[in-house]
Amino acid sequence: MKSLTLSVALASLLLLAGCATTPQKPRTFNQLGHFETYPLNNQIYRISFKADPDMSYGTAEEITLVKAAQTTIQNGFRYFKVMDDPSNQTQKPPRQAVVYSSPNYYPYGYYRRYPGFWPDPFYDSPRVVNIDPVEVSYSIECYKDQKTASQDAFDATLILQSLGKKYGLSPSGEVLLPQPVNTQPTGSSNNKN
């Protein structure tokens, strides 16, 4: 009887440990954050991206660049240039703060006298958290060929070939992974996948 109880306890412990270490399902490109694409005229588009709180500003900029390349290709262009407008000049990385764990309720000496005391190794370990949401916006001007584009224009096909694979996009800008059904109501924005 005692071995049966022990084996049931061990099995339940292994089951719980297995559930705790199950990796997350990978997110698709559109699940990385909230994208908005606005056509300003037949050649200029406004791309904006609001990221999840746990994403770094550099990663958000890279994802916005990939979205700009995808928008360029899907609208029949090949090259795009990020325009120098006031919104890009004022964009700064989000503010961050250092947060410490909450203190113990009892004095430190109280726990040291208890024979089963084991100090928490993560107590008082600082964590860096973002205060502001990570938002990146670009206005891009699209061109069909290199002759009409300026020398500092990005090649959208090259970006999708190099960075697109990392985010599950094909060189043509199509999503390689199946996308979930969008349940958000459509507003005035043009959300292209």
Asked if the model's pLDDT at residue 15 lies above 60, the reply is yes
pLDDT score recorded for residue 23: 59
Higher-pLDDT residue of 191, 127: 127
Higher-pLDDT residue of 184, 98: 98
pLDDT score recorded for residue 89: 53
Mean of the pLDDT values across residues 151-169? 89
Residues for the chain: how many in total?
A: 193
Higher-pLDDT residue of 104, 14: 14
Q: Name 137's Cβ contacts closer than 8 Å, sequence gap at least 6.
A: 46, 47, 48, 49, 64, 87, 88, 91
The Cα–Cα gap between 159 and 173 comes to 10
pLDDT score recorded for residue 143: 93
Strand 79-82 to 154-155 pairing: antiparallel
The Cα–Cα gap between 137 and 61 comes to 9
From 33-37, 98-102, 133-137, the region with the lowest mean pLDDT: 98-102
Mean of the pLDDT values across residues 48-68? 86
Mean of the pLDDT values across residues 63-91? 82
pLDDT score recorded for residue 79: 94
Q: Provide the mean pLDDT of the chain.
A: 75
The Cα–Cα gap between 48 and 136 comes to 6
Q: Count of CB atoms within 10 A of residue 80's CB?
A: 28
Q: Where are the alpha helices (DSSP H) in 78-125?
A: 86-90, 108-113
Q: Where residue 72 falls among pLDDT bands split at 50, 70, 90?
A: very high
pLDDT score recorded for residue 20: 54
